[in-house]
Structure 1
């Protein structure tokens, strides 16, 4: 019997790389004994004071809404609500190519059976402190100049893995085994190569 591995996964619903990595983690759950806790980070918060291209800043403008609603739902209903909400957001944003707006957020809230008034949290700036707190809990342990996906494996924090498609079955498990192996080496920091190919959400 192998010992269960504990992992924490930070996501922003807007990020396609986090979406692919999250689907990989779901595959891993089928072939390895792992327990995953899901958390919210925010690309909008991460980049708010950075010098970024105007088109990227424009893309981030609607990103506050989902993370505020996720944090509001977590505060009212507990941690277990985050994963089903993330699934509902990701299906609409990444598979359907929908724009993030009030209608989409209302659909997500309804899809997971939460109160319709929760959608109003998308405009509630008072939630930004909670967004920042959740964000920093995940990102501060990784360091500077990183984004999402961020995974903590038994407390060892990493940016990535960045994937262009979703590993399935035992391939997913083998990649996980590699991540667990490097997480056990306290002086390991980085592996990297240039990404090629289009993103594949299938």
Structure 2
């Protein structure tokens, strides 16, 4: 029996870079023996208290709080639903023109629709706007998952964080979604680089924004 390679991706559903990387991994799932899991992290937490952010970006980070908290609730209560939650909500956000919300409640209806479509409890939505000290809040669970992702790679990162076995890295940052064997070959290269204990960074200036389409 072939042992599947464990892969965990830590995501914020509103991040376009994380979305493209996640769809790449879903393509990899078709051509390589991997066991793919998704776990929440949060751009809201990552940028909390950070100086120099534009007003619009700060509002977008506040809007990102709700989707991440609901992801944390699912990860705690029904981890098998995190993948479909991310897939359905991410499609609505990134492929159907609902991205870059700046209202704290901007993603509310999308979250409610997503929970209904994946067969999750509607009341899970209630955690989306609970304060950290409120009864039933899952902020600690989100914080713990986020902190674990950061502990794997260090502070100077964003989303996504991808863990391959015992090692993890920020990214890879892709702007299009590789398909088929190309997706598999990029995964193989990532495993090779990520598995070398003295490899830390491979980077070049980005010349285009991520788009949720196949290369």
Q: TM-score interval w.r.t. the shorter chain?
A: over 0.9
Moved more, 32-41 or 66-75: 66-75
Number of the residue aligned with 1:180: 191
Moved more, 151-160 or 123-132: 123-132
1:15-164 matches, cutoff 5 A: 15-51=15-51, 52-77=53-78, 79-98=79-98, 99=101, 100-125=106-131, 126-164=137-175
Instruction: Give the total of aligned pairs.
Output: 201
Check the 8 A contact 2:41/2:142 in 1, yes or no.
yes
Counterpart selection for 1:195 from 200, 206, 209 = 206
In structure 1, distance between residues paired with 2:75 and 2:23? 21
Query: Which runs of 5 or more structure 2 residues have no equivalent in the other structure?
Result: 132-136
- Shift of residue 56 of structure 1? 0.9
TM-score, with length taken from structure 2: 0.89
- Shift of residue 186 of structure 1? 0.4
Give the superposed CA RMSD.
Answer: 1.4
Task: Find the residue that maps to 1:148 and give its secondary structure.
Answer: coil
In structure 1, distance between residues paired with 2:211 and 2:124? 32
Query: Which runs of 5 or more structure 1 residues have no equivalent in the other structure?
Result: none
- Shift of residue 53 of structure 1? 2.0
In structure 2, distance between residues paired with 1:189 and 1:3? 27
TM-score, with length taken from structure 1: 0.94
Check the 8 A contact 2:7/2:36 in 1, yes or no.
yes
